[in-house]
Amino acid sequence: MAEKDAKPKKQSTIKQIIQIYKYTAKEDKALPWLEAGAFLLPVVIMVIIGLIAKWTWLTWIFTMITAVMLGILLAMMLLTRRADKVGYKQIDGKPGAAIGVLSNMQKAGFDFPQEPVWIDPKTKDAIWRGTSMNGIYLIGEGEYGRVMKAMDRQEHEIKGVTAGSTIPVYRIAVGHGPKQVPLDKL
């Protein structure tokens, strides 16, 4: 009898949110207070407006449902931003961190391969080449001077293939130098 391929069980959305919250709360001690504030802010505002406007009971019910839903939305938006910040802080400075960020940009219309187009085996500096509707992007990770020289070579190769076209080539150096972009700003 052939074994059935057991697919991993999908995690429910609630369990994923709890897992993200626990992961973020370990590093971000202000998160519980900010989450409570983000949830309660619309509710408190609606209660104050309701008391001033002297709403009927039906208006109170619908407004409180809307306020709770808005509070949940604000809390989830805050959790997402804080979790991203914690995640970027943990991978910042490690080789290959840029591709972790770039792989999340696929839904925004960017296409970056998993493997870099250039890597220096000695220093672990790397360059990824990606495309979008706006042009070609070169993302460099490593020491600024070395990465810029390698990006010059990559851009020369691109211009050789796209000679005569007006396709722009954008450069972004990721890192900690004065001219480099930090990961959380990418």
Q: Among 175, 176, 133, 170, which Cα is nearest to 154's?
A: 170
Per the document, the length of the chain is: 186
Do residue 63 and residue 44 come from a single domain?
A: yes
> What 3 state SS string does 80-128 have?
HHHHHHHHHHHHCCCCCHHHHHHHHHHHHCCECCCCCCEECCCCCCEEE
Is residue 3 a part of any domain in this protein?
no
For residue 122, being part of any structural domain is answered with yes
Listed in sequence order, the residues at least 6 apart from 62 whose beta carbon sits closer than 8 Å to its beta carbon are none
CA–CA distance, 159 with 137 (Å, rounded to integer): 13
CATH code where residue 175 lies: 3.40.1350
Which residue range(s) make up the domain with 174?
97-185
Taking only the tens of pLDDT, the chain with its 186 residues reads: 455 556 677 778 899 999 999 999 999 999 999 999 999 999 999 999 999 998 899 999 999 999 999 999 999 999 999 998 888 788 777 766 776 677 666 667 777 777 888 888 888 888 888 888 888 888 888 888 888 898 999 988 888 888 888 888 888 887 655 666 665 565
Closest alpha carbon to 123 in 139, 149, 141? 141
CB 127 within 8 A of CB 173: no
Q: Using an 8 Å Cβ cutoff, are 68 and 44 in contact? A: no
- 142 with 104, same domain: the answer is yes
43-66 pLDDT, tens digit each: 999 999 999 998 899 999 999 999
**Interatomic CA distance for residues 62 and 60, integer angstroms:** 6
pLDDT at 75 (0 to 100): 96
Are residue 103 and residue 58 in the same domain, yes or no? no
**Which pTM was predicted?**
0.64
